[in-house]
């Protein structure tokens, strides 16, 4: 949703997007775990899902029912490596990972699922293996985690507008637009 809202915002403002990654639940095993183990009371989880579904419909996104959560580490490393393949490949992978997890309900902690999505997105097989073996990508994730901690960021997506306003979560495009207007000198 954030991607689509940023695209609309870029029609009005000179938007510079720098994607940084934050692993939300690093303790999650690669095979995933039931969402019930995340610690949310069932009523709160139901409200969160209902809100996400409503927001998704407004952006033309149909979310699959989420009964499990996955470990995103390998997906984040893959996305970091895909940046080196250029914008077109990176954007295809970004969309492919989102669709795989959120609309198809696939486990993006599974290396076979990730390989399937990456290859379909145009990521060369060699880059996939490099993503999971090159310490430089891991170092970038550590750097991003440390930067998030400095800003007090704990949620994704998070938007930093004009270097001053931190907006967390799936917010309406109007919220982003208001922040962008305040940031323009």
Main-chain phi, psi angles of 71, to 5 degrees: -90, 125
pLDDT at 75: 96
The reported pLDDT for the residue numbered 17 is 79
| Contact residues for 105 (Cβ-Cβ < 8 A; gap 6+) | 64, 65, 66
86 Cα distance to chain centroid: 18
pLDDT at 88: 96
The pLDDT assigned to 128 comes to 97
Q: What integer pLDDT is reported at residue 91 of this predicted model?
A: 92
Helices (H) and strands (E) in the chain, counts: 8, 4
CA dist., res. 113 & res. 115, Å (int): 5
pLDDT value of position 180 = 87
The whole model's pTM is what?
Answer: 0.86
CA-based nearest residue to 94, from 145, 156, 32, 35: 156
Domain ranges of the chain: 1-22+153-185, 25-32+70-134, 38-63
Structure confidence at residue 164 (pLDDT): 75
With b meaning 16 or more CB within 10 Å and e meaning fewer, what string describes 4-37? ebbeebeeeeeeeeeebbbbeeeebeeebbebee
pLDDT in tens, the chain (185 residues): 788 888 888 888 887 778 888 888 888 988 889 988 888 899 999 998 898 898 888 888 899 988 889 999 999 999 999 999 999 999 999 999 999 999 999 999 999 999 999 999 999 999 999 999 999 999 999 999 998 899 888 888 888 888 777 888 878 888 888 888 888 77
Checking phi first, is residue 79 left (phi over 0); if not, alpha (psi -120 to 50) or beta? Answer: alpha
């Amino acid at each position: 949703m954030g991607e689509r809202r940023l695209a609309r915002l870029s029609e009005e403002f000179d938007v510079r997007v720098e994607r940084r990654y934050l692993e939300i639940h690093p303790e999650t095993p690669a095979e995933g775990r039931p969402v019930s183990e995340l610690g949310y009371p069932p009523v709160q989880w139901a409200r969160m899902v209902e809100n996400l579904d409503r927001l998704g419909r407004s952006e033309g996104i149909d979310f699959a029912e989420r009964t499990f959560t996955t470990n995103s580490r390998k997906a984040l490393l893959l996305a970091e490596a895909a940046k080196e393949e250029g914008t077109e490949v990176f954007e295809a992978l970004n969309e492919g990972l989102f669709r795989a997890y959120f609309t198809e309900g696939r486990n993006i902690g599974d290396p076979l699922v990730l390989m399937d999505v990456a290859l379909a997105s145009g990521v060369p097989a060699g880059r996939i293996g490099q993503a999971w073996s090159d310490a430089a990508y891991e170092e970038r994730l550590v750097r991003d985690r440390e930067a998030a901690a400095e800003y007090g960021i704990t949620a994704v997506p998070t938007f930093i507008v004009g270097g001053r306003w931190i907006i967390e979560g799936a917010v309406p495009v109007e919220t982003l637009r208001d922040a962008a207007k305040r940031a323009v000198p």
